[in-house]
Amino acid sequence: MIDSQDLNIRYSIDGKVFVIQIHRPEKKNALLPSMYRALGDGLKQADADTSVNVILIKGLEDCFTSGNDVSGFVSDSEPTKTSERPSAYFMRALVDTRKPIIAAVSGLAIGIGTTMLFHCDLIYASDECYLQMPFTKLGVSPEAGSSYLLPRQIGYQRAAELILLGDRFSSAKALEYGIVTELLPQDKFQDYALEKSRELANLPTQAVQDSKQLLKQGLEKILPETINLELEVFGKLVQSPESQAIVKAFLDRKQTH
């Protein structure tokens, strides 16, 4: 197994389960561009490893991820001519992964912490978890294919409520809306997610992977196109005076505390 290139993203193996952990406790698991790259690398490595049948993504016991680190917010929205922005690299890796992805979610799941879940096959959340897609509050638009996947999954009205208003919502509401698979007590959600990962990993490999592809048929073309469009709109909006002012105000508040 190749180690992660970022100390805040950890890889480990549990039998046939490849575990990717977000581990940046001092910043509530806020994601930097290098962390996005390591998340994408982990998915690709796990998908290519014939000894791995399932991928488990988790954060800390008390936090999945607080989303994009605002200090890297603008820099990651401006890709160089020779490289893809790391967040987009991670999004495309989520789309391309053939093996089942399970998520164990607790605490905060903000921004990409919520939208990445739409690419996971099973999501086990703590009953103390809160999710949010605050894109409009930051003067930007949704990403990771969420503008297509969410209304398809939960219906337009519910998707519009969560994306247009951008308010925080509980894991209980996420369960009601069909965004997460099951709610568990705070002290049990990670163990339960690992148990289900092992259970799935021991089922016939090809049957599981082919079944996942059948469930996702038709998305191979529309999702990459949607992500490209979202990135284009997001890149335009993040450079707008309105969004820049919001980000500057946020950074100024952080510096005074």
Is the pLDDT confidence value at 79 over 70?
no
* CATH architecture, range 9-186+208-256: Alpha-Beta Complex (3.90)
Q: Where are the domains of the chain?
A: 9-186+208-256
Mean pLDDT in residue range 229-253: 88
Share of the chain above pLDDT 70, in %: 93
Is the pLDDT confidence value at 252 over 80?
no
Share of the chain above pLDDT 90, in %: 85
- Give residue-wise pLDDT tens across range 10-30: 999 999 999 999 999 999 999
Kindly give the residue spans of alpha helices, DSSP state H, lying in 133-188.
Answer: 146-154, 156-164, 171-177
Band of the pLDDT at 81, cuts 50, 70, 90? very low
Give every CB contact of residue 112 below 8 A, 6+ residues apart in sequence.
31, 65, 67, 68, 87, 90, 143, 144
Lowest-confidence pick of 35-39, 70-74, 246-250: 70-74
Is the pLDDT confidence value at 84 over 90?
no
Lowest-confidence pick of 158-167, 177-186, 240-249: 240-249
Computed on alpha carbons and rounded to an integer, the radius of gyration of the chain in Å comes to: 17
Is the pLDDT confidence value at 255 over 90?
no
Alpha-carbon dihedral angle through residues 19, 34, 45, 223, given to the nearest 10 degrees: 100
DSSP H or E run through 234? helix 219-238
Band of the pLDDT at 80, cuts 50, 70, 90? very low
Give every CB contact of residue 173 below 8 A, 6+ residues apart in sequence.
none
3-class state of residue 98 by DSSP = coil
DSSP H or E run through 44? helix 33-48
Band of the pLDDT at 253, cuts 50, 70, 90? confident
How confident is the prediction for the chain on average, in pLDDT?
A: 93
Mean pLDDT in residue range 125-137: 97
Alpha-carbon dihedral angle through residues 155, 161, 167, 168, given to the nearest 10 degrees: -30
Mean pLDDT in residue range 59-82: 73
Band of the pLDDT at 4, cuts 50, 70, 90? confident
Give every CB contact of residue 54 below 8 A, 6+ residues apart in sequence.
16, 17, 18, 99, 100, 101, 102, 197, 198, 200, 201
